[in-house]
Chains A and B, each alone.
Chain A
Amino acid sequence: MIKAILIFNNHGKPRLIRFYQYFAEDMQQQIIRETFHLVSKRDDNVCNFLEGGSLIGGSDYKLIYRHYATLYFVFCVDSSESELGILDLIQVFVETLDKCFENVCELDLIFHMDKVHYILQEVVMGGMVLETNMNEIVAQVELQNRMEKSEGGLSAAPARAVSAVKNMNLPEMPRNINIGDINIKVPSLSPF
Chain B
Amino acid sequence: MSPSVPLQEMIRAIRSARTQCEERGVIQRECAAIRAQFRQADNGGRSHNLAKLLYVHMLGYPAHFGQMECVRMIASPRYSEKRVGYLGAMMLLDEKQDASLLITNSIKNDLSHSNQYVQSLALCTLACMGSAEMCRDLAPEIDRLLRASNSYIKKKAALCAVHIVRKVHELGELFAPAARSLLSEKNHGVLHGAVVLIIELCERNPETLERFRKTVPDLVQIMKGLVLSGYSPEHDVAGISDPFLQVRILRLLRILGHNNEGASDAMNDLLAQVATNTDSTKTVGNAVLYETVLTVLDIKSESGLRVLAVNILGRFLLNNDRNIRYIAMTSLQKIVGTDHNAVQRHRGTIVDCLKDQDASVKRRALELSLALVSATNIRSMMKELLIFLSSCPVELKSHAASGIFNAAERYAPSQRWHIDTILHVLTTAGGDVRDETVPNLIQLITNASELHCYTVHKLYRALLIDISTQSLVQVSCWCIGEYGDLLLRGECQETEPVQVTEDDVLDALETVLQSHMSSPATRGFALTATMKLSTRITDNVDRIRSVVSIYGSCIDVELQQRAVEYNALFKKYDHMRAAVLERMPVIEKNSPGHTNGESTGEALKETQGSRMKPTEPKQLPQPANQVCDLLGLLGGSEETLQPGPFAAPGLLTNTASTAGGDLLDLLGDLEPEPLTPAPIVPVYDKDGVALTLSCEKQSDVALTVTLTASNSTDADISSFTLQAAVPKSVQLHMKAPSGDSLPARGAAKVTQMVVLNNPNKVNLKMKVRISYSSRGSTFQDTVQIDSFPGL
Answer yes or no: are A and B bound together in one complex.
yes
| Complex contact A155–B360 (CB within 8 A) | no
Chain A interface size range: 35 or more
A43 to B54 CA separation, bound complex (whole angstroms):
33
Closest to A86 in B: B287
Which of B58, B155, B156 lies in contact with A17, CB distance below 8 A? B58
Residues in chain B near residue A17, CB distance under 8 A: 58
Question: With an 8 A cutoff between CB atoms, is B6 at the interface?
Answer: yes
For residue A92, which residues in chain B have a CB less than 8 angstroms away from its CB? 237
Cα distance, A121 to B155, chains bound together (Å): 13
Cross-chain contact B128 with A84 (CB below 8 angstroms): no
Contact (A128, B291) CB under 8 Å given A88-B237, A151-B79: no
Contact B44 A49 (CB under 8 A): no
Whether the Cβ atoms of B44 and A155 lie closer than 8 Å is yes
Q: Main SS of the interface on chain B?
A: helix
Interface presence of A29 (CB below 8 A): yes
Using CB atoms and an 8 Å cutoff, list the residues of chain B in contact with chain A.
6-8, 11, 15, 44-47, 51, 54-55, 57-60, 62-63, 78-80, 83-84, 87, 91, 94-96, 115, 117, 123-124, 127-129, 152, 155-156, 159-160, 162-163, 188-189, 192-193, 196, 234-235, 237, 242-245, 247, 251, 283-284, 286-287, 290-291, 321-323, 325-327, 330, 357-361, 363, 395
**Chain B CB within 8 A of A45 CB:** yes
| Residue of B79, B321, B360 with most chain A CB atoms under a 10 A cut-off | B360
Q: At the interface, yes or no: A89 with Cβ under 8 Å from chain B?
A: yes
Residues of chain A within 8 A of B159, CB atoms compared: 125-126, 128, 130
Task: Report the bound CA distance from A148 to B244 in whole Å.
Answer: 31
Q: Contact: B287 with A82, CB < 8 Å?
A: yes
| B11, A25: Cβ atoms closer than 8 Å | no
Q: Would you call A147 an interface residue if the criterion is a C-beta within 8 Å of the partner chain's C-beta atoms?
A: yes
A-B interface, 6 closest residue pairs, ranked by CB to CB distance from nearest: A126-B127, A84-B287, A155-B44, A47-B322, A46-B358, A22-B94
CB neighbours (8 Å) of B243 from chain A are 85, 88
Contact B160 A144, beta carbon cutoff 8 Å = no
Measured CB to CB, the closest approach of chain B to A93, in angstroms, equals 12
* A133 touches which of B84, B235, B283, B358 (Cβ 8 Å): B235
> What's the Cα separation between A54 and B322 when bound, in Å?
23
Which of A14, A26, A28, A121 gathers the greatest number of chain B CB atoms within 10 Å? A121
With A51-B363, A136-B189 known as contacts, the answer to whether A85 contacts B244 (CB < 8 A) is yes
Q: Which residues of B contact A83 (CB under 8 A)?
A: 323, 326-327, 330
| Chain B residue with the shortest CB-CB distance to A157 | B44
Contact partner of B58 among A26, A85, A89, A113, CB < 8 A? A113
Can you spell out 15 A-B residue pairs with CB atoms less than 8 angstroms apart? Answer: A18-B91, A25-B60, A29-B60, A49-B323, A49-B360, A87-B323, A88-B284, A111-B7, A113-B7, A113-B51, A125-B123, A125-B127, A128-B162, A129-B196, A151-B80
B54 to A47, Cβ gap below 8 A?
Answer: no
- CB contacts (< 8 Å) of B323 on chain A: these are 47-49, 83-84, 87
The complex places the Cα of A29 from the Cα of B59 at a distance, in Å, of 8
Most chain B CB inside 10 Å of its own CB: which residue of A18, A22, A29? A22
Which of B46, B117, B395 is the one whose CB lies under 8 Å from A144? B117
Q: Assess the A131–B94 pair: CB atoms within 8 A.
A: no
Q: Within the assembled complex, what's the spacing in Å between the Cα atoms of A17 and B128?
A: 14
Q: A110-B11, A126-B162 are in contact. List 20 more A-B contacts (CB 8 A).
A: A22-B94, A82-B247, A82-B287, A83-B330, A84-B283, A84-B327, A87-B287, A114-B54, A121-B87, A125-B124, A125-B160, A126-B127, A128-B127, A128-B162, A129-B196, A130-B155, A132-B245, A147-B117, A148-B79, A158-B44
A71: CB under 8 A from chain B? no
A154 at the interface (CB under 8 A from B): yes
* Docked CA distance A16–B57 (Å): 11
Residues in chain A near residue B156, CB distance under 8 A: 125, 130
Complex interface: chain A residues within 8 A of B192 (CB):
129-132
Residue picked from A16, A26, A45, A51, most chain B C-beta under 10 Å: A51
CB distance from B254 to the nearest CB of A (A): 11
**What is the distance, in angstroms, from A163's C-beta to the closest C-beta of chain B?**
11
Taking Cβ atoms with an 8 Å cutoff, the residues of A that contact B are 14, 16-18, 20, 22, 25-26, 28-29, 43, 45-52, 82-85, 87-89, 92, 110-111, 113-114, 117-118, 121, 125-133, 135-136, 140, 143-144, 147-148, 151, 153-156, 158-159
- Which chain B residues lie closer than 8 Å to A118 at the CB level? 83, 87
Counting chain A CB atoms within 10 Å of each CB, which of B127, B244, B330 scores highest? B244
Residue among B44, B189, B251 making CB contact with A130, cutoff 8 Å: B189
A48-B323, A126-B159, A128-B162 in contact; A148/B83 too (CB < 8 A)?
A: yes
Specify which chain A residues have a CB less than 8 angstroms from the CB of B59 in the assembled complex.
14
Task: Check B234 against A126 for contact (C-beta < 8 Å).
Answer: no
Question: In the complex the two chains form, what is the Cα distance from A118 to B59 in whole Å?
Answer: 19
A46 B360 Cβ-Cβ under 8 A: yes
Chain A hits for B283, CB < 8 A? 84, 87-88
The distance in angstroms between the C-alpha atoms of A145 and B159, with both chains bound, is: 23
- Per a CB cutoff under 8 Å, which of A18, A126, A131, A143 touches B189? A131
- Which of chain A's residues have a CB closer than 8 A to the CB of B358? 43, 46-47
Contact B284 A113 (CB under 8 A): no
CA of A89 to CA of B243 in the docked complex: distance in angstroms? 11
Measured in the bound complex, the distance between the Cα atoms of B322 and A43 in whole Å is 12
Q: How far is the CA of A121 from the CA of B536 in the complex (A)?
A: 78
Task: Tell me the nearest residue of chain A to B129, going by C-beta.
Answer: A22
CB contacts (< 8 Å) of A155 on chain B: these are 44-47, 80
When distances are taken between beta carbons in the complex, the residues of chain A under 8 Å from B51 are 113-114
Q: Give the docked Cα–Cα distance between A127 and B200 (Å).
A: 13
User: Chain A residues near B91 (CB, 8 Å)?
Assistant: 18
Interface centre among B47, B54, B128, B163 (most CB of A within 10 A): B128
On whether A114 and B45 interact (CB within 8 A), knowing A82-B247, A125-B128, the answer reads no
Query: Which residue of chain A has its CB nearest to the CB of B325?
Result: A47
Residues from chain B with a CB closer than 8 A to the CB of A14 are: 58-60
A47 B360 Cβ-Cβ under 8 A: yes
Cβ–Cβ < 8 Å partners of B87 in chain A: 114, 117-118, 121
Q: Is the CB of A84 within 8 A of B290?
A: yes
Q: Would B78 and A153 count as touching, CB distance under 8 A?
A: yes
Q: Which residues of B contact A144 (CB under 8 A)?
A: 83, 117
* B236: nearest chain-A partner, CB-CB: A133
Q: With a CB–CB cut-off of 8 A, which chain A residues contact B234?
A: 133, 135
Contact A82 B326 (CB under 8 A): no
A46–B322 CB distance below 8 A: yes
Which A-chain residue is minimally distant from B96 (CB atoms)? Answer: A22
Could you say which residues of chain B place their CB within 8 Å of the CB of A82? 247, 251, 287, 290-291
Asked whether, in the complex, the Cβ of A111 is within 8 Å of the Cβ of B325, the reply is no
